[in-house]
Amino acid sequence: MKFSTREDIDAPIQDVFDALTEFESFERSAMRRGAEEHRTDTLTEPGVGMTWRAAFRMRGRTRELDLKMVSMERPDELVIHATSSAVSGAFVIELMALSRSRTRVNIGLELTPLNLAARLFIQSLKLTKSKLTKRFKLRVAEYAQLMEERLKNRA
């Protein structure tokens, strides 16, 4: 199952990439939403090989997720693979400079079931795909707006 969207941000591509690689802000945001997460690597700089372990509640159960940065090409792309006991996925962020001060962000999420129960779960999600896609696009748009405001305030 795939979700994708794109947003344009009024900021240079390098600034957008730097904001997207401020992983501490994502970690704090996840904790505010009730997820537990922690870094499991020993890297001192953001890059390929960064790993996280996360736990969150969804549909009445605690879900655990392992995340790993598998590609980080400055300033064009970030790819994070996620794996749980039932589902694996890839989260891809691609950046494209539209001008010196405007950047297009393409975000994609692909989920793949690893067992029969997960296959049924993904199938149930497909029944509400339009609703989930709207929520995904709304979240990305909200985040892009916040990022744009943050970057403007820095300048």
Within a domain: 75: yes
Q: What residues make up the domain containing 8?
A: 2-35+69-154
Within a domain: 6: yes
DSSP the chain: -EEEEEEEESS-HHHHHHHHT-HHHHHHHHHHTT-EEEE----SSS-TT-EEEEEEEETTEEEEEEEEEEEEETTTEEEEEEE-SSEEEEEEEEEEEEETTEEEEEEEEEEEE-SHHHHHHHHHHHHTHHHHHHHHHHHHHHHHHHHHHHHHHH-
User: What's the pLDDT score for residue 38?
Assistant: 87
Question: Domain tally for the chain?
Answer: 1
pLDDT tens sequence for the chain (155 residues): 999 999 999 999 999 999 999 888 878 888 888 888 888 999 888 899 999 999 988 778 888 999 999 999 999 999 999 999 999 999 999 999 999 999 999 999 999 999 999 999 899 989 999 999 999 999 999 999 999 998 888 76
Within a domain: 61: no
User: What's the pLDDT score for residue 155?
Assistant: 62
Within a domain: 49: no
Within a domain: 64: no
The HSE-up count of residue 129 (CA atoms within 13 Å, CB side) is: 11
Copy the structure tokens of residue 153. 């305030």
The total number of residues shown for the chain amounts to 155
User: What CATH code is carried by the domain that includes residue 126?
Assistant: 3.30.530
